[in-house]
Amino acid sequence: MIIILKEGATKEQIVNVEKRLIQLGFTTHPIYGEVKTVIGAIGDKRDVNRNAIMLMEGVEEIVPIMLPYKLAGKELYKEPTIIKIAQDIEIGGPKLIIMAGPCAIEGETEFIEIAKKVKQGGAHILRGGAYKPRSSPYSFQGLEIEGLKILERARCETGLLIVTEVVDTRDVETIDRYVDIIQIGARNMQNFRLLKEVGNSNKPVLLKRGLASTITEWLMAAEYIMSEGNENVILCERGIRTYEPSTRNTMDISAIPVVKELSHLPIIADPSHATGHAKYVPALAKAAVAAGADGLILEVHQDPPNAMSDGEQSIRPDRFIDLLFEISKIAQAVGRSL
């Protein structure tokens, strides 16, 4: 539920209301506005005497939160959330944020080479997988800790921030030390133990939509992270599995405006995994920007035919540079910039 404080409520009154809610077993999320303060109270309200709270000094109104995702929804947070990653990089603001790099880190020389190329092309954040959850146990599984060290060296060489995926609760603490953004992949969207673990981190979390998850299930996964205290969640639409075999997945462009209506969280798009084919990536990248995405995550590789993971959906560096130029025109048309 949401407790709305009266205009002019004192700091002492606000603190007293929050203390009382905590005593009743609620987790509180105060939001201090220019005119009024509201307190989001998350928990079981069945045995709560609403009148007793209403009679407290400073309380104006109690509003129930109807949606199951209390923190990820818009009932508590009316304004869009902007997640500050660095001094000049914000996700959810007017500037589109581009994450780019190969699916997997294959070696230091190759990775730093592509890192420099995507930075030259206009990327803000470098992506690369150190731990790779693959469909086959015989496929390349990533360089793991050595991959994280290569990511760190690439950041030193280029100045780019880095994002990589965590696949196991046991690795969260290690990955947290190396990266700027922790990614939860589609296969782990409902790995609730893992969601809780990254919820205890102070790093932003990039949460990809599950292979066959509804938008409500996706937002509830975000709720797991946020309920542990980490409210810096970035949603990522990466296509869902349907009966259509022409592409790897079906890109749900409509999810972008739907999420914008239901949630205050920023949302980016991953046209690489959505299509599975490099030739379709530019069209869907442009469509996602036109639909209101706050950024893109793109797979870029200097030698796609010989990539150890997802080469068929990776675009080459020269195409990446051209694509960002094309996207800049669409961004301008919808009031954004690169």
Q: What is the DSSP string of 228-247?
A: TT---EEEEE--B--S--SS
Asked if the structure places residue 52 within a domain, the reply is yes
Q: Is there a single domain that holds both residue 52 and residue 176?
A: no
The CATH number given to whatever domain includes residue 321 is 3.20.20.70
Is there a contact between 294 and 253 (Cβ–Cβ < 8 Å)? no
Asked if the structure places residue 73 within a domain, the reply is no
Asked if the structure places residue 338 within a domain, the reply is no
Residue 255's domain comprises 83-333
Cα(51)–Cα(87) distance, integer angstroms: 45
pLDDT, position 40? 87
Asked if the structure places residue 72 within a domain, the reply is no
Q: Could you report the per-residue pLDDT of 140-188, keeping only the tens digit for each?
A: 778 999 999 999 999 999 999 999 999 999 999 999 999 999 999 999 9
- Band of residue 205 on the pLDDT scale cut at 50, 70, 90: very high
In 3D space, the residue among 77, 63, 99, 86 whose CA is nearest the CA of residue 231 turns out to be 77
The CATH number given to whatever domain includes residue 16 is 3.30.70.1140
- Counting the structural domains of the chain, the total is 2
Asked if the structure places residue 295 within a domain, the reply is yes
Half-sphere exposure of 80 (CA within 13 A, CB side): 18
Q: Is the pTM of this model over 0.85?
A: yes
Three-state DSSP at 284 gives helix
pLDDT, position 34? 78
Cα(117)–Cα(120) distance, integer angstroms: 5
- Token pair listed for 219: 């937002």
